[in-house]
Structure 1
């Protein structure tokens, strides 16, 4: 068995900054209301026609590839995580392969929403460890702003989400001690409809039926979230899956140098920080600037943490996520 490591990181966010004050002009909300509930001050939104999930993913990937010291021709496989693909099908993985002019490598799309990057990273880790691939490109990219309800009716969801992308190169490591130590994945479909886009998909209704019934006031075409239930489950599952990762590697919470949680809600991150007794320097949050970017949130945060010198060789870095499905997961990495 080989060991894998993250050899390069990159991220991209649109230039268009949307503040809480900007949203207060569209709906009955305020900067104070949003910050109190989520910790978010601003987020980035695509200017329509300038970017999409694929183009943002490509920009993040190009940075990660350069930092890994490889070229696009060295990439053996692509794993693309998103809940906002550019087409119903095909997936964004093949679009990245086309846009970057890569060889005819395989491309896999992951639809695990907020846990998408952890799932994608775990898959890449297994492919590298098995010896099948040497360099796997993992992307998390989301274009939320085009599908949100920017009225008072939708404020509970729409103030939370932002657009952006992050990418990582998962590479075969020659270091027997460093790299990705373990990944852990879980789901609980009992709560699938508590955080979901509930509009029937093409798999259950014909297109002409959907068009005939299309009602602009039909809330099922916008994301739905049972916020209190999600919060209660998130804090439990975050704790469980972090401890699962540590115990698998014979580690303790005191060994954590940096925790990078999925940026769902600053209050969730603060709850986990307090429970694990971690200092502010041991937990990286950037939801204040970007909002919740779903599958992109962890790679964006991890990239920024690395750029700021908060991730150093030998550090124990823990990634953890929880979201729609419900799904959750963690990754324990010796940098």
Structure 2
């Protein structure tokens, strides 16, 4: 028995921050941002919106598309680096917002790889035969943790998220394989220095802007290309698949140059690669589920197609996942 995706959804905030807007905020220009990252714009939440609001909207769309009631949901897993609160999980807030009274859930903190981690975890819970329906969401409100005076990060990140409903199937659809890794020695290269138990909030941490994302861009770039390519090629090898058997390759949308180099290393053709970074920037855990929903809506994947996911993020975390596409609402 496998766990298969039966519905997809996304939430994109309405506010747009363009490259032109950023020209007026930091020392950069529109063409430089586009040439270095592939990004043309990113979306930002309203002042009264938080990650749980995006996730609740995604979850409700999944219920509407699948025609399931909230009471039929057994599990809610949310991948996010920007929860509403540190103690209460975003999944708990979403469970209450949508009325999923029979569901339990939790958050996964794995940065940009979070959605793949969450989907793997949810799939295994479904395959255990104890649970029938799980909502898996990746979403981040990156604008809450970005310093808009730091051009190294503010040009890259945006807000948004997406999700899937997974349920059991006796067909051969669903998650076929995955490879997941963590290397904590990379934690210092992409992090938020303060706000946790290591450096609790203080006047000093606020003054020194330690509650914003810090990124060693060159180190993260190098590791992202190498690690995503390695696990993508390995999962193909493990399943005796050549690159041409993949219908659609959906990498984490961190930087177009990273995507292009990763795909080239894997021997994938341009028509196989999904890219939408120009419209949203890097939404961290949200990039892959947003892309999956857009691919479904644009009829880029159909029943029996093979889908390859890969991501790399802070931690370091990285992984790949092979999915055989089934019937999706």
TM-score normalised to structure 2 length? 0.95
| SS of residue matched to 1:171 | strand
Contact 1:9 1:68 in 2 (8 A): no
Aligned equivalents of 2:104 and 2:133: distance in 1? 12
Deviations 1:237-259 (A, max 9, x none): 11111122223323222211100
Corresponding residue number in structure 2 for 1:302 = 292
Deviations, residues 202-238 of structure 1 (Å, cap 9, x unaligned): x2356xxx3343443x132221111111111111111
Map 1:248-327; keep pairs closer than 5 Å.
248-327=238-317
The match for 2:68 is 70
Q: Indicate the SS of the match to 1:83.
A: coil
Given that 1:112 and 1:327 are in contact with CA atoms closer than 8 Å, whether structure 2 keeps it comes out as: yes
SS of the residue corresponding to residue 296 of structure 1 reads helix
Unpaired segments ≥5 residues, structure 1: none
Question: Shift of the alpha carbon at 1:277?
Answer: 3.0
- Residues 1:162 and 2:158 aligned together: yes
1:180 pairs with 175, 191, 195, which one?
Answer: 175
Aligned to 1:38: 37
Rounded Cα–Cα distance in structure 1 between residues aligned with 2:205 and 2:182: 32
Count of paired positions = 325
2:290 aligned counterpart, secondary structure: helix
- After TM superposition, the score normalised by the length of structure 1 is 0.94
Distance 1:69 1:333 in 2: 23
Aligned to 1:211: 202
Seen in structure 2, the aligned counterparts of structure 1 residues 32 and 212 have a Cα distance that, compared at 3 Å, is closer
Range with bigger deviation, 302-311 or 268-277: 268-277
1:92-116 deviations in Å (ceiling 9; x for gaps): 0100001111114211110001000
Query: Residue 135 and residue 253 in structure 1: after superposition, are their counterparts in 2 closer, same or farther (change >3 A)?
Result: same
Give 1:19 deviation, angstroms: 0.4
Q: What's the C-alpha RMSD, in Å, of the aligned pairs?
A: 1.3
Q: Which of these residues, 53, 56, 72, is aligned with residue 55 of structure 1?
A: 53
Contact 2:229 2:263 (8 Å CA) reproduced: no
Relative to structure 1, is the Cα distance of residues 71 and 200 closer, same or farther in structure 2, using a 3 angstrom cutoff? closer
Structure-1 separation of matches of 2:70 and 2:119: 19
SS in 2 for 1:131: coil
1:245 aligns with 2:239: no
Q: Deviations over 1:155-200 (max 9, x none)?
A: 111110000110101110121x222101221011111110111115
Q: Tell me what 2:11 maps to.
A: 12
Which residue, 129, 134, 137 being the options, matches 1:136?
134
Residue in structure 2 matched with residue 230 of structure 1 by the alignment? 220
